[in-house]
Amino acid sequence: MQNIDQVTGLYKNNQLQLMCFQIAKDSDIFAINVYKIREIIKYEGKITDISSGSPLILGLVTLRRETIPVVDLKKWFAYDPLVPEKDISREGIDDEDCILAICEFSAYTVGIRIHKAERIITKTWNEIHQVENTFNDKVNNNTKYHDGRLVQIVDIEKMLVDAFPWMDGEKDEELEQIESLHLDKSKTLLLAEDSPVAMKMMQKILKKLDVRFHAFVNGQQLLDHLFSNTEENIAMIITDLEMPIASGFEVIKQVKNNKHYQHIPIIVNSSMSGSSNEEMARSLNAEGFISKSNPKEVREAIEQFM
């Protein structure tokens, strides 16, 4: 509960906390949202090799009776899904470095191997800048470190898809099983999502459901559209929480504080894992929560609120 209160407090202050790290000595600074990280450890045990078929997965570790796959982040940055045959075996983090960030997101637990953990920094969302075509879309936002250096924020959803390609297959199978909703075509849904991978999946889901929608890469674009298209019948909003310029909570706050739009149901679409997420969404005055781009949950939410 304390963790949820801390996250909620950050969102209400338009802030996020980032754990900064390096993938090699004197490398660039990268970062992940602190609340997707369960713990950071210096792992001295055995990494069990597995025939995963993915060059990004080092193997499995066992922590407190939990078996966790480990992804080498330096290999991931060298990996190009368009050229999967490229040899990246020598691109990994040095063997003597076994710092693991144990992460929980999108209902998965994965260990991310890094070179060195740096400090945690707190930023407002208007200090987060959106970028495109960086490291093959592995980084979609950046900000500044305490000393002025660039901090590149990892698109963790893309890492999951690259390391575990069967995940996309699972969602495609789920997508095949859901049916169109046959909604009133005068109704429009607004979607805000800054991860290209999550955006692509959400668009596939909404098209399969035959929902009329507009998609935006940050909350500010969604708000600008909403407030400038007063004649459009906006029936629902689905928003990520972690977005530059205007976060998902900023979307919720502005919509719910506007008497002309406060009736619009807002659903949080987030990769933050845990049983208290729905409670957090409601504490932010959203009507509901769905785990990131889950076809069944998206359909159920739209059927209920739209």
Average pLDDT for 64-87: 87
DSSP-derived letter for residue 272 is: B
Check residue 1 and give its pLDDT: 42
Per-residue model confidence as pLDDT tens digits over 24-48: 888 899 999 888 898 999 988 888 8
Query: Tokens in use for 82?
Result: 């368009």
User: What percent of the chain is predicted at pLDDT more than 90?
Assistant: 46
Which residue is associated with the tokens 């076809």? Answer: 295
Per-residue model confidence as pLDDT tens digits over 151-207: 999 988 889 888 888 877 777 888 888 888 888 889 999 999 998 888 999 999 999
Position 70 confidence tier, pLDDT thresholds 50, 70, 90: very high
Per-residue model confidence as pLDDT tens digits over 127-143: 999 887 665 688 989 99
Listed residue (255, 249, 259) closest to 283, CA to CA: 249
What's the predicted TM-score (pTM) here?
A: 0.82
Judge whether 119 and 128 are in contact, CB under 8 Å: no
Show the domains of the chain with their CATH numbers. Answer: 2-163 (2.40.50.180), 167-305 (3.40.50.2300)
Specify which of 51-60, 62-71, 90-99 reaches the highest per-range mean pLDDT: 62-71
**How far is 242 from 30, CA to CA, in rounded Å?**
16
